[in-house]
Chain A
Amino acid sequence: GENVEQHPSTLSVQEGDSAVIKCTYSDSASNYFPWYKQELGKGPQLIIDIRSNVGEKKDQRIAVTLNKTAKHFSLHITETQPEDSAVYFCAASNWDTGRRALTFGSGTRLQVQP
């Protein structure tokens, strides 16, 4: 089955700096890669996703890049703000199998220092 590795496990940045979280996956057939943000006591919230026919996607201060050859994808947050502090999860899925199971990474705790 799919295995997703996520790094780093914790990340501390100063407000205004950029943050980068990286994930690698094992199943070359995976073709859907969402990122979720989880705040304390809440469920994961989808913040951005990318599909295998796209190399990069951007939404305001958030961007995701995908390298299918190397089987890794990354989340980039620019101009970080204290409210970006949360746990971020990457995930991967092979949509073509008909399964809708998301395999999640272990999470990155991002702390933005004011």
Chain B
Amino acid sequence: DAGVIQSPRHEVTEMGQEVTLRCKPISGHNSLFWYRQTMMRGLELLIYFNNNVPIDDSGMPEDRFSAKMPNASFSTLKIQPSEPRDSAVYFCASSLDFATYEQYFGPGTRLTVT
């Protein structure tokens, strides 16, 4: 069974450009989470969805960040415009449902903004 799939695995872009990260959760999972990992701040939750609806976006750093989940099998995290301080590894995780504790992480997207 495929795990969480993220694309691209690596992204290098210039400051000011728009960046879109993609995630496909584990089939049948109804909760989806976006995390960011940096040396300075560690792993931090940005936003999560349940049944395609955003439940908590309090971790989204600023209006330049937006996330969508148009259907149960796809989510995007967009940064527009990107800045060098957005450089990080972005992880997507999924969980069976809102009542299930266990979260399963994807391999991550390493974003570098120059």
Contact = CB atoms under 8 A, between A and B. Distances in A.
Contacts of A89: 43
B102 A43 contact: no
A43 B33 CA distance: 13
Interface string A24-45: 0000000010101000011111
Interface stretch (B13-21, B66-74, B77-85, B103-111): B103-111
Interface residues of A, number: 22
Interface in A37-58: 41-46, 49, 51
Contact of B102 (A34, A95, A99, A104): A34
Contacts of A49: 101-102
A86 interface: no
A107 B103 CA distance: 18
Given A100-B98, A101-B48, A104-B43, A43 B103 contact: no
Interface of B: 4, 31, 33, 42-45, 48, 55-56, 59, 91, 93, 95, 98, 101-108
Interface of A: 32, 34, 36, 41-46, 49, 51, 89, 91, 95, 99-102, 104-107
